Amino acid sequence: MADANSADLVLASASPRRRELLEQLGLVLEVTPANVDETPRPGERPADYVKRVAAAKCDAIAGARPSDRPALPILAADTIVIVDDQILGQPTDEADARRMLLALAGRRHDVTTAYRISFGGRTLDRAVTTTVAFRSLRPAEIDAYVASGEWRGKAGGYAVQGRAGAFVPELRGSHTNVIGLPVAEVLADLQALEALPRYPPAAFGVRSQP
């Protein structure tokens, strides 16, 4: 975890993918995962669900942050895969991963990430949706992907930045959104709130080679 005095942003998420997307831009993060109930409510639409969970994560961290800590922007996000107006979360086991891949194969689905930023007494909410097309998958491909274990911890049971990229002939919208965070939109909103005074660092924080 970064020294709070040097951090640019509080990331209210345990996702290593969100952390990597932000850190590769040279941002120094204070990672403080939020613990909230992510159970969908009866009859709750996917779009409403993902916005509610993202907001709850941000508010939980903002409300618990000690007053003597530096005033940093807080970012929380939640990502879901939607097919037939149903939420595909993270598979619970291999059978669940197989079920999800079969549901996605040969068709399009939506990936929505909702996020909330809290800074300086203001909050900003946004939801970004990317449409992803899967080609038809042979049974042997599904078997091999499930055996690879890449699906673990991934909404919808796949990682587009990994082996599952071979399943996706078309993607409309933010590519990083499917990974877990629509970086372009997040940065634009943080800048609109004047929440990143040190961004971008020189060479995006990459040290030159001797």
Q: Is 78 a catalytic residue?
A: yes
Residue 98 has which token pair?
């197989």
Q: How many CB atoms lie within 10 A of CB 197?
A: 7
SS (H, E, C) 144-185: HHHHHCCCCCCHHHCCCCCHHHHHCCEEECCHHHHHCCCHHH
The three-class DSSP label of residue 99 is: helix
Residues 6+ apart with CB under 8 A from 153: 90
Q: What sign for the dihedral angle of Cα 161, 37, 30, 71?
A: positive
Please check whether residue 13 is in contact with residue 32, taking contact to mean a CB–CB distance below 8 angstroms: no
Phi and psi at residue 157, to the nearest 5°: 80, 25
Instruction: State the residue for tokens 């372009």.
Output: 184
User: Among 78, 96, 110, 125, which one carries the catalytic annotation?
Assistant: 78
User: Would you name the residues annotated as active-site residues?
Assistant: 78
